[in-house]
Amino acid sequence: MRIAILLPLIVSLLASSSARAADRVVAATLDNGLRVLLLEDQRSPIVSFQVWYRVGSRNEQRGSTGIAHFLEHMMFKGTPSHGPKQFARLVEENGGQDNAFTSQDVTSYYVDIAADKLDLVIDLEADRMQNLLLDPKEIASEREVVIEERRTRTEDDPSGFLGEEVSSIAFKAHAYGAPIIGWMDDIKRVTPEEIRAFYKTYYVPNNAVVVAVGAFRAADTLEKIKKRFGRIPRGKVPPPMLAVEPAQNGERRVVVRKQAELPIVYMAWHVPNHRSDDAVALEVLSTILSGGRASRLYRDLVYQRQLALEAGGDNAYFSIDPNLFWFWATPMPGQTPEKLETELSAHMERLKTEPVTDEELARAKNQLEAAFVYQEDSVHQRASLLARFELIGAFALKDSFLAKVRAITAADLTRVARTWFAPERKSVGVLLPKS
């Protein structure tokens, strides 16, 4: 009981601190269109410097899937000033860590390093925003790396393979139906000229957001960013992604056979993105269903009845366009995928007729709130959150997120379940082990 009382109090105090910190964000848009967000955090002598480009797999064309991810790899292959592998070497020699990721909507690069090395990072990131070499020999070499990555993470991974298949049937028109890493034939075919054209189209300052959080003076850092990034010419406005996914008119289903120990069941429904009034309710609902060991799916299917080895779900709150609300489960040995599919469907139908309990609702809100505000302990996560909210509208949206979570009621959850989880909007994937 004491823990239940203390957690909301601790979260409330951290949330207040977070809100005050957000007030101190220094935001600017350079003449070339580069958006800059800076937040001083003097608690430790480090800084997280991140560059987010508004491009991901949603911006790719059929026949060129995976090009955004391929280019992410190539961003570490050098410029005339800093040759191949020099970026990572310089960061490591100066005690920092660097990495990157590509998603459906964005490509992000970050360096976490001692604050007195910030000038080095600014120079390196500005250099590769404009001067990437993209040597054909390096592209040929890295192609084999990407092919192996796809083989390992998707084609040889039953869960990744099935998720890819379900996405491909769930979307008919929108590029969310293609895998981020790309289809294998596209990876093998894409040319250096296409990669260079993609780079010149999307890696321009007016399509990027620079976010830095850490031990620096914001005014000084902004001047350094203006001096180094400001000389990069504004690019043409990248072409808009106009595809709109048509309404789904009936259940879609895919069954695949794969070398695997156990079957897997995936279920997905089309739901709106963050612009919808239902977005936060869907996030709370996902937490109630699949957020940890106290969630409905885990408690019922894994712990109590031992029907599943694992069960979970996901909801893409920060998605630029409407996306999918996921369930998945792996049957225990002796259980069938048909049984798990029935049980997962029953959990969704139950939400339409029985309000969630006060305890479930309070627990889900506490989980979301705690996870959200505890990120304030990390300069890296603080920077990432600012970037994510900026990319879906404005970094200031971060300040209202927790209030929206707190306002959700059990009736809201019943309403969104009835609105968005109709059987005809469902896509189902079943993976059966090969004998």
pLDDT digits (tens, 9 = 90+) for 204-251: 999 999 999 999 999 999 999 999 999 999 999 999 999 999 999 999
- Beta strands 26-29 and 252-258 are unpaired
**Across the chain, what does the average pLDDT equal?**
94
Our count of domains for the chain comes to: 2
Identify whether 424 is part of a domain. yes
Q: Report the distance separating Cα 69 and Cα 57, nearest Å.
A: 8
Nearest to 203 by CA among 241, 243, 240, 236: 236
Q: Do 196 and 266 fall within a single domain? A: no
Q: Are residues 128 and 201 in the same domain?
A: yes
148: left (phi over 0), alpha (psi -120 to 50) or beta: alpha
Q: In this structure, are strands 264-271 and 426-433 parallel, antiparallel, or unpaired?
A: antiparallel
Same structural domain for residues 141 and 272?
A: no
Assign residue 50 the CATH number of its domain.
Answer: 3.30.830.10
Q: Are residues 301 and 402 in the same domain?
A: yes
242, part of any domain = no
In a domain, 155, yes or no: yes
How many CB atoms within 10 Å of residue 319? Answer: 20
Q: In what order do the strands lie in the sheet with 323-331?
A: 252-258, 426-433, 264-271, 323-331, 308-315
How far apart are alpha carbons 160 and 155 in whole angstroms?
7
CA atoms within 13 A on the CB side of 127: 17
For residue 139, the Cα-to-chain-centroid distance in whole angstroms is: 26
What residues contact 96, with CB distance under 8 A and at least 6 apart? 111, 112, 113, 114, 117, 121
Is 267 in contact with 426 (CB distance < 8 Å)? yes
pLDDT at 425 over 50: yes
Residue-wise pLDDT for 291-334, tens only, equals: 999 999 999 999 999 999 999 999 999 999 999 999 999 999 99
Q: Are 167 and 106 in contact (CB under 8 A)?
A: no
DSSP state of 102: E
Examine the domain organization and report whether 159 and 266 are in the same domain: no
Domain coverage including residue 398: 252-433
Give the Cα separation of 429 and 169 in Å (integer). Answer: 9
Mean pLDDT of 198-209: 98
